[in-house]
Chains A and B, each alone.
Chain A
Amino acid sequence: MPSKSRNHQLRARLLLTVLGWAVALLVFFPILWMILTSFKTEKEAVAGIQHLIFRPTLQNYHDVQQRANYAHFAWNSILLACGSTLAALLIGLPAAYSMAFRPMRHTKDMLVWMLSTRMMPAAGVLAPIYLLFRDGNLLDTRSGLLAVDTLMNLPIVIWMLYAFFRDVPAEILEAGRMDGAGYLREIFSLLLPLSMPSIFSTSLLAIVLAWNEAFWSLILTAAKAAPLTVYIASFSSPEGLFWAKLSAASTMAILPILVFGWISQRQLVRGLTFGAVK
């Protein structure tokens, strides 16, 4: 019995390994291809699969950096992503707390409405927002785009924190209340430590979403406040070959966020599920 089942287990494990790796490679392949392309010349890049074997070159990375200051755009992206997430947390956390622990008659409707604001296509409010920004001298400013990113992330932040807070056992907070804790103490000393993982992963999701936000960042910025999304878009020209350079620019753009996401994948998962899973 032992040796037979051990063989069986080993065989199953090998099969799973093959399957697991095959699927992963399949899913990852486009990204892998993009990274490979960033080391080719433009001619090789367009020729596609015929150039499976090629001599790698760093020329594209050099060109990309020379053409526009990558660091400037990256810094803008970081500022915007982290700043808007922080702002959304500051505004959204109290709201989520209040909705989760002191639900009122209209709380559910409020949540539906908040959700629906996020479902609206940006193009619909393109004109009003653009005009507001133009008249308010907010075009091409970091604060302007930060406000937009914050407001885009706010419903998601509130929703996720709300869902997680609903999982927090009420007794713990009740116990604190019995001890005479005020609101602020309740939030800071009791709720926050408990919900750290969820806050962390909510933040991660918000950061990723702000990092990849490609509509408002293109419309509302030009050069000063432009994040990486604008930088990438500048490589899509109607005339002229740009494949390899675009791949290099994109690899540079996603690298930080990929590394960041990998380091924190477990926390990311925890918060991504509305507290639906433990």
Chain B
Amino acid sequence: MPDLSITRGPVSRRLPRRHTLAPFLLQAPSVTALLLWSIVPLVMTLWFSFRRYNLLEPSQTGFAHLENYRYLLGDPSLGPAILNTFLLVGWVLVITVGLGTLLAILYDQDFFGRSVTRVMVVAPFFVMPTVSALIWKDMLLDPENGVVAFLMRSVGLKPINWFGTAPLTSIVLIVSWQWLPFAVLTLLTAVQSLDQERKEAARMDGAGPLAMFIYIIRPHLGRAIAAVTMVETIFLLTVFAEILVTTGGGPGYSTTNLSYLVYRYALLETDIGAASVGGVLAILLANLVALFLMRSIAKNLDA
């Protein structure tokens, strides 16, 4: 594909203006829809965050001043929840991008039955999150009957109680497994688009596999890695289903992330007022992360 970098840039992107109304019309439906979808619940969430509203105590109503805020912000599990959110996102990103890069290089090579193996590697992405979580918890990681325990016992190791003693690690494992296919696919395409000629030239110059990786492959992947990071972060910030069906936020608060914390307030404590404060917090966090991503990584996308 010809190198089009010279034709890009703000000047050439601007097609000559015809009507100034047109852009609005074109964007109007989506903007309206998204506005309704985000503004209406946002406004309602903000509204509820200042009201007393508990589903099981209908008699408690009225303006709540800052009570809900004080209540939620004074929750001892809030700090761990925010920390766990970042830990989860961070670790899954590291694992999927790191492993994804290696696997992308592997599956770029030519070997027998390559296309079948590719489908196998992509499959986890299509399984429902709740089902994945249950398979991992009860069929694979179970210290009694699980496959992993079986393997450990056969080499003389004592099986680990994954969800009991290393709960967050277990969740990271499950979520990484789910998102690895996405990373591999994306990075694989990036690797494949690497100019064969450049690779050949480097090889002729005597570059070994390690040098190839460091100087040729990795820089080329920068854009793809940025794309993967952005998409994954969107979903990883709100991981919920996997936690719900495996650890329920525990033991203690070790697998409670912000998403689960809000759920706990909304459905377990049935305190919509406090849950709404959690929602506001989550929105703030999401905006911060989105901004950060745009500034740092999205630059790569435009390059």
Contacts and interface: CB of A to CB of B under 8 A. Distances in A.
Q: Do chains A and B touch in the complex (CB under 8 A)?
A: yes
Interface of A: 13-14, 16-17, 19-21, 23-25, 27-31, 33-34, 37, 46-50, 90-92, 94-95, 97-104, 108, 110-129, 131-132, 150-151, 154-156, 158, 163, 166-167, 169-171, 173-174, 177, 183, 208, 212, 214-215, 228-229, 232-233, 236, 243, 246, 250, 253-254, 257-258, 261-262, 265, 268-270, 272-274, 276-278
B60 to A, nearest CB: 15
Given A31-B124, A127-B272, A265-B118, A276 B227 contact: yes
B186 A119 contact: no
Nearest to B102: A23
Contacts of A154: 30, 33-34, 37
Contact of B106 (A16, A214, A270): A16
Given A21-B113, A112-B291, A277-B189, A119 B41 contact: no
A31 to B, nearest CB: 5
A170 B219 CA distance: 27
Contacts of A101: 13, 15
A104 B147 CA distance: 56
Interface size range on B against A:
35 or more
A278 B193 contact: yes
Contacts of B4: 167, 169
B266 A236 contact: no
A133 B44 CA distance: 13
Nearest to A212: B128
A113 B287 CA distance: 7
A116 B53 CA distance: 27
A214 B130 contact: yes
Contacts of A116: 283, 286-287, 289-291
Contact of B145 (A48, A99, A169, A258): A48
Contact of A27 (B112, B177, B231, B293): B177
Given A116-B289, A169-B7, 18 more contacts: A13-B111, A17-B113, A21-B113, A27-B124, A28-B121, A95-B29, A103-B13, A113-B290, A114-B34, A117-B37, A119-B233, A119-B289, A122-B238, A156-B234, A163-B301, A212-B129, A274-B227, A278-B1
Interface in B89-130: 103, 106-107, 109-114, 116-130
Nearest to A126: B266
B145 A128 contact: no
5 contacts: A17-B112, A95-B31, A119-B289, A124-B45, A124-B262
A120 B238 contact: yes
B166 interface: no
Nearest to B289: A119
Contacts, number: 321
Interface in B123-181: 123-132, 134-136, 138-140, 142, 144-147, 150, 177, 180-181
Interface stretch (B61-69, B200-208, B210-218, B274-282): B274-282
A110 to B, nearest CB: 7
Contact of A277 (B126, B142, B224): B224
B41 A129 contact: yes
A122 B282 CA distance: 10
B127 A31 contact: yes
B83 interface: no
B27 interface: yes
Nearest to A177: B15
B123 A102 contact: no
Which 10 residue pairs are nearest across A and B when measured between Cβ atoms? A124-B279, A48-B145, A128-B44, A119-B286, A24-B117, A95-B30, A125-B41, A121-B259, A28-B120, A98-B26
Interface string B6-23: 011010111111000011
Contacts of A214: 128-130, 241
Contact of B26 (A20, A25, A46, A97): A97
A231 to B, nearest CB: 10
Contacts of A170: 7, 12-13, 15
Given A128-B41, A214-B130, A91 B190 contact: no
